[in-house]
Each structure stands twice: as C-alpha cells, then as structure tokens.
A and B are shown apart, each in its own frame.
Chain A
Amino acid sequence: MKGNLAASAIVVVLLIVAPYLAPLIHLDVSILSEVLLMAIAAMSVNLLLGYTGMLAFGNAAFFGLGAYGAGLSIKYFDVHFIVATIIGVVAAVIGALIIGPFLLRRRGIYFALLMIAFGQVFYFIAYRLTDVTGGEDGMNFPRPWFGFSAWHLQLRDQPFYFVMLAIFIAVLAAMWYLIRSPFGRTLVAIKQNELRVRYLGLNSDRFIFVALLISAAMAGLAGALYSLLIMFAFPLMLDWHQSGDFVLTVILGGAGTLWGPLVGSIVYVVGKDIISTITPAWQIFLGGLFVACVLAFPKGLLGTTLDLLARRGIRVEEEPAVVGTLESSRAK
C-alpha cells in the first residue's frame, strides 16, 4: 500500500514537471493537456470495460455530446468556463439516459453493437443540423471566460494544463474511491460472475445503468474540456472511430487498472503526434498499433509490466479488478 502511494506520488510529480520538460523534446504543452483529457475519456471506458466487463464501444457519443454541449453554450450564450463544462457533462448524461434503457439487459457483443449503433445517432444529428452545429465542418467558438474577472485563460499554455491536471487528479481519486466502494466492488463482481450477483439479490442491470451514467459523465467531461482546449467541436468527435480509439487506449494501457488509461493515453497521443508529422499515412500505423496491441500486449503495457514484476517476486498491490481479468466468465 505504501509502495503504491509512493509510486502514485512520483507519477503526480512527473505530471507537474512535464510541461517544463516537454519543450526539450519539442512537444507542445497542448499535447500534454490532450494526454490528460484522452486519459479521462479512456477511464470512462475503463469503468465499463475494465471493471464492469461491458463492451463499451460507443463512448464517443458522450464525449462528443460534452464537446457540443460546452461549445454551443459558449457560442450562443457566452457562458463561463465552468458553466460550459457542466453543461457539457449534463448533455452527456442526458444522452446516456436516452440510450441507456435500450442497452439494459444486453450483454457481450450485443451490448457493443447496440452501443455503437445508438451512439451514431448523435453523430448524424450533429452532421445534419448544419444551421446550429456547422454540420460536417464543425464549429468554432471563442475562448471562454475563466476565473471571476475578465482574465481570459491562455488556453494553449501552461495554466490550462495545470487546470486539466487538477481535474485529472480529482477524477483519478474519484475513480480510486469508486472502485473500492461497495458500488465499485459490485461492478467488479458483475464482471466476474453476474449470475452470483443476482443470486445475492442485487439488481445487476441497475448497477450497470448507473455505471453507464457515471461513464457518460466522465466522457462528457473529457469532451467538454477537449473542445475548450481546441475551441472547436466537430462531428467526428461523436463517431464510432473515436470510440474505437478510446477502447484501444484502455487496452493499450491495461484494462481494469487505475493508471492504465494514462499509460495508454501517453502512448496513443504522443505517438500519433509524432507519426502524423512524419507521414500522412499515419492511419496505417494507428491500425498497426491496434493489431500489435491485441496480438502482443493483450494485458496492456501496464498489465504486462506488472506481470513481469510479479514473476520476479515483486508484488504490487493492485485494484480489486486484478489486471488482465478481461477473460471472465462472460462467454459467447
């Protein structure tokens, strides 16, 4: 436990000094902010996929709803940064309340299919409501208010990164607490053996529904902040390809681990940034990353590392959902 806390502290210190080190390797600070936001989005998927065992292949819908919720409220009502973020989160949760009932009781790939399909509705709405959302081209909006004076945050600079870092740590702490709470333990139990959970008299559908709402709120938060970072919202944020990238990020880092999404996000965002400056055909490398991750690192980078440590006799205390237990009782 002490070791875990020390390791976490080291990571947090690294995240604090990161913006001062990034220029040394020619990384833009906004890339670091993107890493944190991608990590939050991946954590939203991790809650469903890694801890509850649900194939969440549609979280981009919530991510995009957050982005459009924040963007539209600034564009048309010029609201404060915090208000815009909250509106984005609320929009995402409303989206989950609408499609959630259709997903209830579905498991395995049926859940995945329905989530992909229903998530696409929001994509087409954003795509078609050209007058409001700008359609395919997306929409620009001005830099939001921040603080209580007319001081406008320099969004691409370090202050924004530190705001993001504070939010990221808060989300991470909430996640840590959530997974250790009775609610979180029940989610993990559902992943391991849902039938037993039901025999204990717990309504697993209700737990999954609440997990979906929490996941949507987190994805919406990430989407809202991301649109505020780039001052832009576009339909592809809602597309299922974006969902696929989230799932990749989770698996790449290590599903069912607290820090996995951050690890995956660092590799994904920084890798994409570097490769896209080298070649326009970066999509091949992204696809290759999917294939390599599935075939070579199914437990993710963090999961594989922890396995190696364990083999050398170094046991790191892990979360209740032990790394790599994606293979659960859930069969076809």
Chain B
Amino acid sequence: MISLLGLDDAYHAPWFIALIALFALSLVLCSLRRLALFVKEKKTIVLPEEDRLLKMDLHSYIPEKDFSETLGLLARRYRLALGDGRGAVLERGRLSRYGVFIIHASIIIILAGGLMGLLFGYRGFVTLKVGETKDRLTLRGKSPAEVPLGFALTCKDFKVNFYPTGEPKDFVSSVEIVENGKAVLGKEIRVNEPLSYKGIRFYQSHYGSAPVFFFNVGGEKVALMEREAFRKNSLLLMVARYESRVHDFGPGVLVAYLDGGEPKATWFLKNVDRLREQDLEGVRVSLNDIQEQLYTGLEASRDPGVFVVWAGFVFILFGLYVNFFVRHRRIYLLKVPGGLLVAGTALRNRGDLDKEFKNLLEEIHGHTP
C-alpha cells in the first residue's frame, strides 16, 4: 500500500508531481491576471480634480510659482507619467508594481529548471580504487543501472587528512579524465570542490577501504573486489564473498563460476597451498594476494536545469527586493488660480513619504531661478 501510493519516495511520486504542476499552473494564471491589471492601470493614469487632491494625506498649495519651472524641478527626481494643459502626474518606483510578477515568474522558472533536471538529468556514483579507471557510472534508484560516461575517469591517488583532534579535515581524490586513450584533464576533487566535465559533475562523497583480490587467471593478472566478475575465454567467475578467517585456515574468498551453465562456488584460501590454485573449467586460477585498498566514492550527476534554477534564484531575490523595498509614489501637480497644487501618495511601500514630500516642498519654495 505504501509503495503503491509512493509514500516511500513521496517526492517523486506522480501525485506529488501533479500537485506541483497544479501549483505552477495556478501561479501562471494569477501572475498573468495581475500583469494585465497593471498594464491596464498604467494606461489609465489621470490627474484628479482639485477636491480629490485635497483629500490626499500630503498636499500643499504653492502660490505664484511657474508651472513649467516647478515641473522641471520635480522631473529631476520623478518620471513624467502624464502631462496636459491642466497639470502633470509624476511617479517613481513603478518597478515595485512588477515585483509580485517577478517573484511568481521566478518560482515558475525554478520549477521548470527542476523539471529539466528530472527529465534530462540523472544521479549516480562511481567508486574507484587508487589506480582504477572506469568509463561508466552506476545510477541510483530502485533498479541500479549503468550509464556510459563518454570518457573515462582514473583515480591517480586518494588521501584523507586529519586534524590533530582526529576529525577528518580533507578528502582528496586526484583524478584524471581520459578521452580516446589520452589524458585530457587532471584535477583534485574535494568536498565542496567538484569536477565538472562535459555536463557531468563529480563530487567527493565518501571513501572506504575494501579488500582487493589479486588473481592469476590463465596467465592474466587481475585485481577484483567483492561482487566483481571477470571473464576469460569460456570461464565467467565472480568474487562472491570474503572471509578474513575461514575456520583456522586464514583469509579466504568464495569464487562463483559457471560450470556448463550451472552455478558453482569454491573457496580459495590464501594460506593453504592446495586451495590457492585450482582448475576451473580448464583454466588455471590462482589467488596471489589479498590487500586492503582505499577507494573513493564519487557522487556523479548530470543536471542541465541547474543554470535555469540559478537564474530563478537571482530573479526571485531581485523581485523580493523590488516588491518590498522599492517605493512606488506619485506626485500630482495641478494648475490652480493663483498658483499650483502639489499632492503626493504612496502606492506601495510608503516608507518616509512625509519627509520626502516636505523636502520637495522646501525645494520648490526655495527655488529661485
């Protein structure tokens, strides 16, 4: 039941993705409606009559001042939105009106970037012993699968540095990218310093040590880890299990192989001569050595949507700033008998409009051409 509803992996479950899609759709519709509203509102800026202006919080008569001179003064700080024979409307910070739109559009962009990652990206890992080269990564998921990288990755060295207190300070994998048999790039991968090559990123994720078994299979030297398979002519063998002590005979390893299509297994014991070398399917197999070897675990991922997500992040922060901290205000300038009437309103983020309006009036009064 739980797995049917996808509760074990809720964030990838169809119902969860459907919910997000529904959310995105409503965002799109809301944003469009709002945008239409603002555009319409911009077209309908009017200069109200005197009695309406007098009802505004901030208004003042300025006797015997020239209209165009005052307008010129105001236009230094405000943008002219409307000008006719009766007077003018000036404003500042109109961008603030679009803050909401920018924020909501950014969320859509971020979700789109996330979707691109889900559709065209993947996550997996590569485990490399020192000296080992691999050209494919193992995908994460319910059924592990392998994906070719298109190039090969060699681990040249792996180091762990510790603080004097014994805590890990640094994990460093020195790797080399090999393409068409040529080393094209060498880099040290650390935590917080991934390697990026052809859209695939490799992150230092973990490390460990594991026994490596050195076999001689029909004259060919191979190093295998647990669960690794090797084929020589008709013989397919796999290291099934490692025991550090098989009864009193020391370390041993259980090797599985196919005998005429039938799976069989046999123990190789390092310290017992008779069991160190055996014939399997007519191929001479001998266990030469067992060594503990460090391996590095690299997280590997491809996400073409990541830059879209970054762009969304930048836009949303800009939008939040614009929406909450850019002040949208309008100044009305009306010609009245014997002078001018100035009025001001804050349409969004009032801030310190009172002070600003006072300064403005002082400037107009004090201005002598």
Question: Does B bind A?
Answer: no
Interface residues of B (CB under 8 A from A): none
Interface residues of A (CB under 8 A from B): none
